[in-house]
Amino acid sequence: MTLQSMTGFARSEGAIGSCRWAWETRSVNGKGLDLRIRLPAGFERLEPEVRNRISAAFQRGSIQLTLTVSRDEAPLLPVVNEPAVMALLDTVERLRDRIDVAPPSADGLLGIRGVLEFREPDVDTEMAGREAAAIFDGLTLAIADLTAMRASEGGKIGTFLSEQIDAVEELVRRVDADPSRTPEAIVERLAGQVKLLLDTGSDMDDGRLYMEAAILAAKADLREEIDRLAAHVEASRALIAAGGAIGRRLDFLAQEFNRETNTICSKSNATSVTALGLELKVVIDRFREQVQNLE
């Protein structure tokens, strides 16, 4: 499965009979799938199916979808309001017994407001169905184009993320290989710290001294943090290789990267390790910033 960015744009258009239609869809980052669908009057019935198709194609992103429809100008058809005509004729018949009323003429009746109107021809049921089918075919094309654009952007992001993971791995290797991490350096540093405790002149028995030395030794050991960072590197690579909607899981791993790096910086007693930790934080920030764009 490919990676998908949450940003993209697509447009499809077409015509059937006198009907011309166009779909426009825009996608930006979102925590979940947020759909905003705009359909013209008379096409509201299409919304449930439109929503289903978009939901089936995408899992995350704020997606705005707009359908515009226009029709070629058609000759207006005259439509006679027959109930109004019959009501007028009945009125004339009732008045004949009271006043001298001439028989109404056809042009006289048609000239009365509301009797004769000119309207666009109605779209029959069969044509309406054909129009809807063509419009949905256009939606399929728009979804495919949007998917392709998001996949193209996702591929670029995936390459960038892989480069950042490689950088994290190299920095972690350098932390592990730092001269301050050698057993001799750690023993020397612990000896100095223990001596400092003894030189304080405080009354410290052997048990308390042993406990303080154990605390100092644990603080000096970065093995767990280094191993966890290495595990997060492998997990990130596996997710990117698998593809799909992995944005949330990569964001979680970015938080874990940052947590372990903070611990390394807080434990560090060597400026070289602290510098590597700060460089790690910069790389992880770049990693997490791009992860926010992934589905």
Claim to verify: residue 36 and residue 88 sit in the same structural domain:
no
β partners of residue 19: 16, 71
What per-residue confidence (pLDDT) applies to 160? 97
Claim to verify: residue 101 and residue 161 sit in the same structural domain:
no
Query: Residue 255: inside a domain, yes or no?
Result: yes
Q: In angstroms, rounded to a whole number, what is the distance separating the alpha carbons of residues 125 and 280?
A: 65
Closest CA to 253 of 192, 190, 168, 189: 168
Closest CA to 278 of 264, 292, 293, 290: 264
Counting the structural domains of the chain, the total is 3
pLDDT 10s digits, 209-235: 556 555 555 566 788 999 999 999 999
Q: How confident is the model at residue 238 (pLDDT cuts 50, 70, 90)?
A: very high
CATH of the domain at 28: 3.30.230
Query: Residue 1: inside a domain, yes or no?
Result: no
Q: What burial class does residue 91 get, using C-beta atoms within 10 Å of its C-beta: 0-12 exposed, 13-18 middle, 19+ buried?
A: exposed
Claim to verify: residue 167 and residue 276 sit in the same structural domain:
yes
pLDDT 10s digits, 105-134: 777 777 777 777 756 555 567 777 888 999
Query: Residue 239: inside a domain, yes or no?
Result: yes
For residue 58, how many other CB atoms are within 10 A of its CB? Answer: 22
Claim to verify: residue 215 and residue 285 sit in the same structural domain:
yes
Query: Is residue 281 within a helix (H) or strand (E), and if so which, with residue range?
Result: helix 271-291
User: Which residues make Cβ contacts (< 8 Å) with residue 250, sequence separation at least 6?
Assistant: 161, 236, 239, 240, 291, 294
Sign of the alpha-carbon torsion through 55, 148, 16, 39 = positive
Residue 265, φ and ψ in degrees, nearest 5: -65, -40
Claim to verify: residue 248 and residue 211 sit in the same structural domain:
yes
| Residue 56 lies in domain | 8-72+124-150
Q: What is the DSSP string of 193-256?
A: HHHHHHHT-----HHHHHHHHHHHHHHH--HHHHHHHHHHHHHHHHHHHH-SS-HHHHHHHHHH
What per-residue confidence (pLDDT) applies to 135? 95
Asked if 35 contacts 51 with a C-beta cutoff of 8 angstroms, the reply is: yes
Q: Helix, strand, or coil here: 119?
A: strand
Claim to verify: residue 86 and residue 140 sit in the same structural domain:
no
Claim to verify: residue 138 and residue 157 sit in the same structural domain:
no
Residues 149-181 as b or e (16 or more Cβ within 10 Å = b): bbbebbeebbeebeebbebbbebbeebbebebb
What per-residue confidence (pLDDT) applies to 51? 96
What per-residue confidence (pLDDT) applies to 93? 72
Claim to verify: residue 134 and residue 221 sit in the same structural domain:
no
Claim to verify: residue 102 and residue 134 sit in the same structural domain:
no
**pTM higher than 0.75, yes or no?**
no
Q: Helix, strand, or coil here: 270?
A: coil
Query: Residue 2: inside a domain, yes or no?
Result: no
Claim to verify: residue 256 and residue 140 sit in the same structural domain:
no
Q: Helix, strand, or coil here: 124?
A: coil
User: Which residues make Cβ contacts (< 8 Å) with residue 295, sequence separation at least 6?
Assistant: 3, 4, 5, 6, 58, 59, 60, 61, 150, 154, 245, 246, 247
Average pLDDT rounded to a whole number, residues 21-46: 93
Arithmetic mean of pLDDT over the chain: 84
- Which of 90-94, 128-132, 165-169, 215-219 has the least mean pLDDT? 215-219
Claim to verify: residue 160 and residue 213 sit in the same structural domain:
yes
Query: Residue 3: inside a domain, yes or no?
Result: no
Query: Is residue 283 within a helix (H) or strand (E), and if so which, with residue range?
Result: helix 271-291
β partners of residue 22: 13, 68
Average pLDDT rounded to a whole number, residues 124-148: 90
Give, to the nearest 10 degrees, the angle between helix 247-267 and helix 125-177: 20
